[in-house]
Amino acid sequence: MNLQLKIWRQKNAESKGYFETYKVEATEHMSFLEMLDVLNEQLIQEKKEPVVFEHDCREGICGACSMVINGQPHGPMAATTTCQLHMRHFKNGQTITIEPFRAKAFPILKDLSVDRSSFDSIIQSGGYISVNTGQAPDGNSIPIEKDLAGKAFDAATCIGCGACVAACPNGSAMLFTSAKVSHLGLLPQGEVEHKRRVKNMVEQMDKEGFGMCSNTKACEAECPKEISVENIARLNRNYMNSILTGE
């Protein structure tokens, strides 16, 4: 299949970016990133600078393959990361527009690569359990309600890719932050530090320059792991509780 790619090229955060058009030949069995690999091999042979994009596991679990494809974070397939998107979902002769995630808190490093270290700062502010729990207990020795365990597990599937931020018109990180708060706070081990964790992570999120949630639910629609906005509602309740109780 023959494709025309309109790819965003930008030297760094301070430089002015632009779209550049390329033609590439791919097969329907290729993943989207494999198609970009073919393009870069072509550019290298032509002694041109290859397109910079992020990737790591290529198994849909690391969140590195963050890019906007035809206006949608991670592309047109629901619950799918870019690396798990295959070319059979595109048509021969189609023009595909590829951009980096765009948000104030995600400055562009180069081309399709953005700096998502602001997520790391949010995690460092409270996304962990630091209480001394002693030796690792048997997994079945702590009674946890099945419903709570299920909700915690669902929240823990967040891979921190940033698609929620890219999809949000306000560049909000509420879905990411709420998922991290939920998967720790719903379990007994995380209850001790829960109120402090919520307050610190929300404050750090604001410091990083993320916008506020306006309930458009675009984040849930574009999340490759289908994280629910119910976590945002839970985060708001927990944050208000931590403020009102002064903890």
Q: What is the pLDDT of residues 38-74, one digit of tens each?
A: 999 999 999 999 999 999 999 999 999 999 999 999 9
**d(Cα 124, Cα 105) in Å, to the nearest integer?**
16
Assess whether 95 and 32 both reside in one domain: yes
Do 151 and 204 fall within a single domain?
yes
Please answer whether residues 148 and 186 qualify as being in contact, where contact means their C-beta atoms are separated by less than 8 angstroms: yes
Angle ∠(108,110,113) on CA atoms, nearest 5: 65
The boundaries of the domain holding residue 21 are 2-109
Q: Are residues 224 and 104 in the same domain?
A: no
Is the pTM here over 0.75, yes or no? yes
136 lies in a domain? no
Residue at token pair 């939920």: 182
Bridging pattern class, strands 95-99 and 68-69: antiparallel
Q: Does one domain contain both 122 and 89? A: no
Number of domains in the chain: 2
Helices 230-245 and 194-207, packing angle to 10 deg = 110
- Sign of the C-alpha dihedral, residues 235, 236, 239, 241? negative
Q: Is residue 173 part of a domain?
A: yes
Q: How far apart are the first and last CA of the chain?
A: 59
Same domain, 67 and 148: no
Q: Same structural domain for residues 240 and 127?
A: yes
**CATH classification at residue 49:** 3.10.20.30
Distance of CA 194 to the CA centre of its chain: 23
Q: Give the pLDDT of the chain (247 residues) as one tens digit per residue.
A: 999 999 999 999 999 999 999 999 999 999 999 999 999 999 999 999 999 999 999 999 999 999 999 999 999 999 999 999 999 999 999 999 999 999 999 999 999 999 999 999 999 999 998 877 667 666 567 788 899 999 999 999 999 999 999 999 999 999 999 999 999 999 988 988 999 999 999 999 999 999 999 999 999 999 999 999 999 999 999 999 999 987 6
- Is residue 32 within 8 A of residue 83, CB to CB? The reply is yes
**Residue type, position 7, single letter:** I
**Residue 11 near residue 110, CB atoms below 8 Å:** yes
